[in-house]
């Protein structure tokens, strides 16, 4: 990775004007030809697998970022990636819950970045489907063999990278985009999103009472750093360690977090979905109160999450139970992952597209 000295406003001001040059050029090239555009759309909707990735390389030869889609960065450490996947497998159920209770609403506080989701209606109009797609992406890239020959991580990441470039293209063509917001899905916003799926998840686990070692945190953040790199995130926005991740998170938060009507509407769509699929004994006030606790009063108020504070005795009980879970025998990571992923699919039968 690049040696960062300090994240600055000057750096991030530049990053707000940058997207993903190679993917953006590819989308402009493909969308100028209806036949090529249809080929790409068919591929994006196809079934995952090694042969499917080779098909894209065959359809669009000599496209640099596609040809190199399976090349890890030189700083990637396979052992750390493996340990990050093991950590995910052990805590997958609560991590997936934290994506909805913390990571996504955390992103909605970034008023300019959230405008992409609002204008594209990716969340507002198809909330359940889009949240499911996000969940499947996380499951696929965090699997024990995700980056192996039988894994789908490379293809799933490439699909997201191409989708982001297409969204940038359509947003800029729509006439609805204000340049003062920066480029749609720009580098700063991509960095913030990557942190919300890594650093912020670790923060949420600890707030809920889980014991997370520094080694586990480093491994989990490392694998997300690799995912960020393969997604087109600039290397100087991939923190080398947890301290730098905190620094980057803090400056992005100071720069971008603000009250916005669209951030609040996205949050209402999210919480309505969470409450509609809730099958636990937790009440709506319990769930929204937990969101307020995880986000903190200031951010929860910015998103207009209205609920009583979670009672202290309930919070203490949650933390105590989770602390005990932290010390249970880990078991077989691959088996844990397979069982948890199968359960997730069973709970979403109408949306399952992958075997």
Amino acid 321: pLDDT: 77
Q: Is 189 helix (H, G, I), strand (E, B) or coil?
A: helix
CA 319 and chain centroid, separation = 25
DSSP states along 3-62: ------HHHHHHHTT---HHHHHHHHHHHTSHHHHHHHHHHHTS--SHHHHHHHHHHSTT
Going 166 to 172 to 178 to 181, the CA torsion angle's sign is positive
pLDDT in tens, 73-95: 999 999 999 999 999 999 998 99
Long-range contacts of the stretch 290-293 (C-beta < 8 A, 24+): 290/101, 290/318, 291/101, 291/102, 291/105, 293/207
* Residue in 252, 257, 115, 266 with CA at minimum distance from that of residue 181: 115
Q: How would you label 209-236 residue by residue, b for 16+ Cβ within 10 Å and e otherwise?
A: bbebeeebbbbbbbbbbbbbbbbbbbee
Average the pLDDT over each of 29-38, 156-165, 189-198, 334-343 and give the range with the smallest value.
334-343
User: Is residue 277 scored above 90 in pLDDT?
Assistant: no
- Confidence band of 352 (pLDDT split at 50, 70, 90): low
pLDDT in tens, 5-48: 579 999 999 999 999 999 999 999 999 999 999 999 999 988 77
C-alpha span between 238 and 104 (Å, rounded) = 19
Residues in the chain: 355
pLDDT in tens, 93-115: 899 999 999 999 999 999 999 99
Contact status, residue 10 vs residue 84, Cβ threshold 8 Å = no
Q: Give mean pLDDT, residues 300-329.
A: 83
User: Is residue 226 scored above 60 in pLDDT?
Assistant: yes
Contact status, residue 257 vs residue 110, Cβ threshold 8 Å = yes
Cα three-residue angle 198-227-104, rounded to 5 degrees = 40
Instruction: Please classify residue 14 by burial: count the beta carbons closer than 10 Å to its beta carbon, then call 0-12 exposed, 13-18 middle and 19+ buried.
Output: middle
Instruction: Please classify residue 263 by burial: count the beta carbons closer than 10 Å to its beta carbon, then call 0-12 exposed, 13-18 middle and 19+ buried.
Output: buried
C-alpha span between 354 and 351 (Å, rounded) = 9
Q: Give mean pLDDT, residues 117-126.
A: 73
User: Is residue 225 scored above 70 in pLDDT?
Assistant: yes
Amino acid 337: pLDDT: 86
User: Is residue 269 scored above 60 in pLDDT?
Assistant: yes
Amino acid 351: pLDDT: 58
Instruction: Please classify residue 54 by burial: count the beta carbons closer than 10 Å to its beta carbon, then call 0-12 exposed, 13-18 middle and 19+ buried.
Output: exposed
Q: Is 331 helix (H, G, I), strand (E, B) or coil?
A: coil
Helices and strands counted in the chain (H then E): 19, 0
C-alpha span between 269 and 128 (Å, rounded) = 9
Going 59 to 64 to 69 to 70, the CA torsion angle's sign is positive
Average the pLDDT over each of 43-57, 103-117, 230-244 and give the range with the smallest value.
43-57
C-alpha span between 108 and 200 (Å, rounded) = 14
- Confidence band of 349 (pLDDT split at 50, 70, 90): low
């Amino acid at each position: 990775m690049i040696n960062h000295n300090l994240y600055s406003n000057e750096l991030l001001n530049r990053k707000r004007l940058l997207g993903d040059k190679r993917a953006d050029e590819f989308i402009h090239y493909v969308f100028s030809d209806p036949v090529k555009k249809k080929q790409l759309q068919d591929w994006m909707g196809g079934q995952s697998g090694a042969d499917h990735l080779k098909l894209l390389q065959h359809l669009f030869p000599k496209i640099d970022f596609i040809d190199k889609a399976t090349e890890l960065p030189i700083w990637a450490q396979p052992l750390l990636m493996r340990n990050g996947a093991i950590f995910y497998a052990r805590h997958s159920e609560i991590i997936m819950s934290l994506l909805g209770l913390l990571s996504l609403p955390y992103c909605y506080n970034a008023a300019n970045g959230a405008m992409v989701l609002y204008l594209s209606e990716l969340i507002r109009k198809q909330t359940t489907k889009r949240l499911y797609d996000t969940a499947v992406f996380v499951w696929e890239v965090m699997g024990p063999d995700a980056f192996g020959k039988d894994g789908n991580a490379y293809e799933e990441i490439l699909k997201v990278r191409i989708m982001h470039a297409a969204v940038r293209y359509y947003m800029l063509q729509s006439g609805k985009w204000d340049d003062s917001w920066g480029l749609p899905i720009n580098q700063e916003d991509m960095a913030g999103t990557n942190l919300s799926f890594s650093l912020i998840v670790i923060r949420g686990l600890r707030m809920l009472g889980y014991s997370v070692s520094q080694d586990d945190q480093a491994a989990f953040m490392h694998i997300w750093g690799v995912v960020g790199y393969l997604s087109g995130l600039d290397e100087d926005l991939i923190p080398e360690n947890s301290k730098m991740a905190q620094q980057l998170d803090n400056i992005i938060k100071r720069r971008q977090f603000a009250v916005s009507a669209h951030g609040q509407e996205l949050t209402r769509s999210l919480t309505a979905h969470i409450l509609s699929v809730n099958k636990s004994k937790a009440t709506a006030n319990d769930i929204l109160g937990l969101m307020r606790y995880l986000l903190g009063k200031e951010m929860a108020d910015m998103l207009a999450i209205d609920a009583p504070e979670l009672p202290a005795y309930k919070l203490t009980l949650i933390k105590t139970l989770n602390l005990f879970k932290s010390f249970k025998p880990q078991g077989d990571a691959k088996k844990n992952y397979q069982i948890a992923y199968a359960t997730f699919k069973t709970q979403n039968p109408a949306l399952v597209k992958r075997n």
